[in-house]
Amino acid sequence: MRDRIDIGGVSVSPDHFIGGKRVSSPRTFETRCPFDWDRKLADISLGDADTANQAVEAATKAFPAWAALCQAERSAHLHRLADLIEERKNDIAMVECLDMAMLLESLQLRLVPRGALNFRNYADLAAEHEERVWSSKGTANRVIRMPAGPALIITPWNAPFMLSTWKCAPALAAGNTVILKPADWSPLSASVLADLIAESGMPPGVFNIVQGGAEIGNALTSDPRIKRISFTGSVPTARIIGRNAAENIVPFTAELGGKSALLVFEDADIDAAAKKAAGQYDDSGQVCMAGSRIIVQESVREKFLERFHHYADQHVLGDSFDSATTVSAMIHPIHVERVLGFIERARAAGDTIVRGGKRWKEGQNWIEPTLIEPKSNDSEVVQSEIFGPVLTFQTFATEDEGVALANSTAYGLSGIIYTGDAARAERVGRQVRGGTVWVNTFLVRDLTAPFGGIGISGIGREGGDYALDFHSDLKTLQILEGSVRDCS
């Protein structure tokens, strides 16, 4: 076990968490502060195939006893963990702010408390579950949820703590043991979560956390002892995981990002729509559900753009500790260069850079909030996920044309519609392809609702009973009516 590290006044272990203990690796990888890139935070234990095997062994060993607990006992463990998250929310927020650069205030007020809510929500949903019971063809029938086994959870580098809790909570509530692999660009808040797991008294091996990249990821996704895989990340990585899961016939969900439309009709509240559009630069656009394609009815083009620039001009780029900052640094210089590459290729292809289009402060991890008007709907910036502070702007004449533009990419994670017409809200809301479509609002989430994508935005659904069913083996038990009697 290696020495713990001070991260903004919080003691954090750089090691894995396997079988209730810290486990170190001889090799390491470094993590740095995105908004102060010269500041090295830690050397993190780099997992390999042997680390993966240790984690799967621990999760497999712990599974029978955890699965055998009654639902009330498992739910009590999750509520204790939620209590500890609430008690340590400022520490978690500090670590994640330094490691990922999300705004500290946002983490303290929204993202970390949501992590506690995730565990509470699934603890209660699982405890309140009622089996489906019915009679059919002379038999009494029940659908029973059975814990599936060790579940592998792979999370992305954006909002890592919240997304880890969102994906791990239903797996644990369903009676599965868990191996969590956070992204190697932002692993530190998961390490704090491991400390809370140990403090909560959860049995060793029920919740394991391993760190690293492709080597450990491939070993874990290829292991036949893994019975569920839940992944959030990129399409290319999902294809690799999907092939490994298919080899072992393992159920697999994938949430793969989006290229969502923000569709504005002439009868909308244009000021509200423009303000929400400018808000898509939050977190430097590193949000999978962001409405990054602004599509506005031609008749209100100029009115919309005037209000959009008004609100975009109010953004403040800066330090993630500063409450005045609205646009944080991007996660990593590699990602900054990737996003700048999209902008430069758009410029070279003849797309119009309406605003922004360059790095803010040379050598730093910010890009100015950028708006691009493409010369064609086939432009790369329209069809590819950029995952940065880059929005596109297009116009349409008719409702049908607007819907066609909204549905013109291979993605389908979400959509945003602004209209003042109730009939249009219902009609267009049904037509826009997306796992979640908002009308006159954005990012309002009911945790019992299904969440996931269409097309290359992913497969499967998370949220509510949908996630609990995924993490269970469903059994139909049929008993011939009148053939048995109560002998208790």
Is residue 488 scored above 80 in pLDDT? no
Is 255 considered catalytic here?
Answer: yes
- Pairing relationship of beta strands 21-23 and 472-480 according to DSSP bridges: unpaired
CA atoms in the 13 A half-sphere facing the CB of 39: 14
- Pairing relationship of beta strands 390-396 and 293-297 according to DSSP bridges: parallel
What pLDDT sits at residue 363?
Answer: 83
What pLDDT sits at residue 117?
Answer: 97
Question: For residue 153, which of 474, 475, 470 has the smallest C-alpha distance?
Answer: 470
* 176-210 confidence digits (pLDDT tens): 999 999 999 999 999 999 999 999 999 999 999 99
- In what helix (H) or strand (E) does residue 229 lie, and over which residues does it extend? strand 228-232
Angstrom distance (rounded) from CA 207 to CA 228: 14
* 67-76 confidence digits (pLDDT tens): 999 999 999 9
* 113-150 confidence digits (pLDDT tens): 999 999 999 999 999 999 999 999 999 999 999 999 99
What pLDDT sits at residue 121?
Answer: 97
Active-site hit among 96, 255, 368, 385: 255
Full DSSP string of 160-195: HHHHHHHHHHHHHHTT--EEEE--TTS-HHHHHHHH
What pLDDT sits at residue 151?
Answer: 98
Active-site hit among 97, 288, 368, 385: 288
What pLDDT sits at residue 360?
Answer: 94
What pLDDT sits at residue 177?
Answer: 98
* 288-315 confidence digits (pLDDT tens): 999 999 999 999 999 999 999 999 999 9
User: Domain coordinates of the chain in residue numbers?
Assistant: 5-256+453-476, 261-439
Is residue 36 scored above 90 in pLDDT? yes
Q: Residue 317, SS3?
A: strand
Q: What is the mean pLDDT of residues 262-270?
A: 98
In the sheet with 139-147, reading across from the earlier edge strand, the strands are: 133-136, 139-147, 472-480
Angstrom distance (rounded) from CA 286 to CA 102: 10
Q: Is 71 exposed, middle or buried (0-12, 13-18, 19+ CB in 10 A)?
A: middle
Angstrom distance (rounded) from CA 231 to CA 226: 13
Per DSSP, helices labelled H in 349-471 are 380-383, 399-406, 422-431, 464-470
* 429-458 confidence digits (pLDDT tens): 999 999 999 999 999 989 999 999 999 999
* The two three-digit tokens of residue 13, written as one number: 């272990």
| 116-to-79, 166, 256, 352, 397 alpha-carbon distances in Å | 8, 9, 24, 44, 46
Is 462 considered catalytic here?
Answer: yes
Question: For residue 70, which of 8, 10, 127 has the smallest C-alpha distance?
Answer: 127
Total count of residues recorded for the chain:
488
Active-site hit among 89, 96, 167, 227: 167
Same fold, 5-256+453-476 and 261-439: no
| 187-to-16, 42, 118, 424 alpha-carbon distances in Å | 10, 10, 19, 44
CATH tag for 261-439 (out of 3.40.50.2000, 2.60.40.10, 1.20.140.10, 3.40.309.10): 3.40.309.10
* 382-402 confidence digits (pLDDT tens): 999 999 999 999 999 999 999
3-state secondary structure 120-167: HHHHHHHHHCCCCEEEECCEEEEEEEEECCCEEEECCCCCHHHHHHHH
For the chain, the average pLDDT equals 97
Please enumerate in sequence order all residues whose Cβ is within 8 A of that of 270, keeping only pairs 6 or more positions apart, or say none.
264, 300, 303, 304, 307
What pLDDT sits at residue 361?
Answer: 86
- CATH code at 5-256+453-476: 3.40.605.10
* The two three-digit tokens of residue 316, written as one number: 């403040």
What pLDDT sits at residue 260?
Answer: 98
Active-site hit among 96, 368, 385, 462: 462
Q: What is the mean pLDDT of residues 78-89?
A: 98
Confidence grade of residue 108 (pLDDT, cut at 50, 70, 90): very high
Is 167 considered catalytic here?
Answer: yes
Angstrom distance (rounded) from CA 220 to CA 374: 42
What pLDDT sits at residue 486?
Answer: 84
* The two three-digit tokens of residue 264, written as one number: 């504005």
